Amino acid sequence: MDGPLTPRESAKFIAENSRDVFIDGRGVRRVAELLLAKVSGPELHLGGWKALHELNPRAADEAALNWVFVADTLNFSFWSEHDERKCLVGYRGKTYSGYWSLCAAVNRALDEGIPITSASYYATVTLDQVQHIFRSDTDVPMPLIEERHRILNETGKILLEKFEGSFLNCVRKSEKSAQKLMHLVVESFPSYRDVTQFEGKRISFYKRAQILVADTWSVLEGKGDGCFKDISSITMFADYRLPQVLVHLGALNYSKELLEKLLKGEMLSYGDRQEVEIRGCSLWCVELIRDCLLELIEKKGEKTSGEINSVLLDYYLWDYARDHREDMKGIPFHHTRCIYY
Ligand SMILES: Nc1nc2c(c(CN[C@H]3C=C[C@H](O)[C@@H]3O)cn2[C@@H]2O[C@H](COP(=O)(O)O)[C@@H](O)[C@H]2O)c(=O)[nH]1
């Protein structure tokens, strides 16, 4: 049986058949113009991954890669039912929420001498130990903690069996191809298989596999084993924050019926038609924004600080969403509880 459509093909197909989510061409252009002003700055540059984020590793070595692998293996579902009651992790004098609470907990564990980024440790780590490592400063635990425990054991065992316990060996097997690495990760590690159905077709988003490739490229600073010649083939990562910021910026719209559902905080299940439309149209929207931005750069002869691709646009828009949380309060994000994003 042939595989699912690629994320890019899936997104195009979904956008062409979507009933409740719509891309706004004028909004796409407005976002591209917003980004045009940033193309020569640090935010739309590979170096921003380290320069702008104090919890990310500084190094570009095997240990840093294994840090990225654990972080992206657990990089899912941080949202809480009530925003005022959520998991928080204090680390080195700062308090972190959401994805950053995961990174803070990993760094806190390493500081405490717990080798949480070593496969030989997390392949057999117990649920009690995982609950301690990812403990919250509030009475709200990190969501899906049992799933995180199961996935750590499963992933650690496979990394030991197939890649001598180091993600560097997985990267080296992909021979500097982003696509080969993405597919090797999806084939080897079940929790990365972000695949579902839409209108009778098998589609893929591979959100965590794609962000793992992107973070590998970033942590290795695009050099050596991380010099992916095809990094531009990686699309944005279909999570629950990007749709929210794209609606906020006017590039994406929801039908009245869907917006009402989201405003009520109704759950959508992984693979539901509307959930797939939100993820697919967001992905396609970012592809259109990237095309428009590259046209504007060409037309205006703008100097860029390196190649502009969907990975960098995604990172920028995700950071923008974190920095504009207050302004975006009125825009709902979809509530899906799953291990894929
Ligand atoms: N599209 C996209 N989704 C991303 C990321 C990240 C963090 N990655 C990079 C960002 C900085 C570092 O440089 C990391 O490399 C997390 N997420 C997703 O967001 C959700 C968590 O959101 P909140 O609850 O607000 O923390 C959850 O689904 C999580 O999977 C990204 O970059 N793009």
Q: Which atom of ligand 1 is nearest to the CA of 236?
A: 1
pLDDT attached to residue 1: 65
CA of 99 to the centre of ligand 1 (A): 6
Mean pLDDT of 152-167: 98
Helix (H) or strand (E) holding 105: helix 98-111
193 lines ligand 1 (CB under 6 A): no
Strand pairing class (195-198; 201-204): antiparallel
Q: Domain residues of the chain, as ranges?
A: 7-328
Q: Which pTM value belongs to this model?
A: 0.97
pLDDT over 90 percentage in the chain: 94
Q: How confident is the model at residue 56 (pLDDT cuts 50, 70, 90)?
A: very high
Give catalytic status of residue 239 as yes or no. yes
Taking 80 as the threshold, does the pLDDT of residue 42 lie above it?
Answer: yes
List pLDDT tens digits, range 217-270: 999 999 999 999 999 999 999 999 999 999 999 999 999 999 999 999 999 999
Task: Report how many helices (DSSP H) and strands (DSSP E) the chain contains, helices first.
Answer: 15, 6
Closest C-alpha to 14, from 26, 23, 2, 27: 23
Residues 6+ apart with CB under 8 A from 253: 21, 22, 24, 247
Taking 80 as the threshold, does the pLDDT of residue 321 lie above it?
Answer: yes
Mutate to test the pocket of ligand 1, among 52, 103, 241, 331 (most ligand atoms within 8 A of CB): 241
Please enumerate, as own/partner, the contacts of 254-259 that have beta carbons within 8 Å and a separation of 24 or more: 254/20, 254/21, 254/22, 254/278, 255/19, 255/20, 255/21, 255/22, 257/20, 258/20, 258/21, 259/332
The residue from 72, 215, 225, 239 that is catalytic is: 239
The whole-angstrom separation of Cα 251 and Cα 57 is 33
Mutate to test the pocket of ligand 1, among 69, 147, 220, 239 (most ligand atoms within 8 A of CB): 239
Pick the residue whose CA is nearest to atom 1 on ligand 1.
237
Pick the residue whose CA is nearest to atom 9 on ligand 1.
315
96 lines ligand 1 (CB under 6 A): no
Check: CB of residue 186 under 8 Å from CB of residue 209.
yes
User: Dihedrals φ, ψ of 201, to 5°?
Assistant: -110, 145
Check: CB of residue 49 under 8 Å from CB of residue 56.
yes
Q: How confident is the model at residue 213 (pLDDT cuts 50, 70, 90)?
A: very high
Q: How confident is the prediction for the chain on average, in pLDDT?
A: 97
List pLDDT tens digits, range 130-153: 999 999 999 999 999 999 999 999
List pLDDT tens digits, range 275-317: 999 999 999 999 999 999 999 999 998 888 788 999 999 999 9
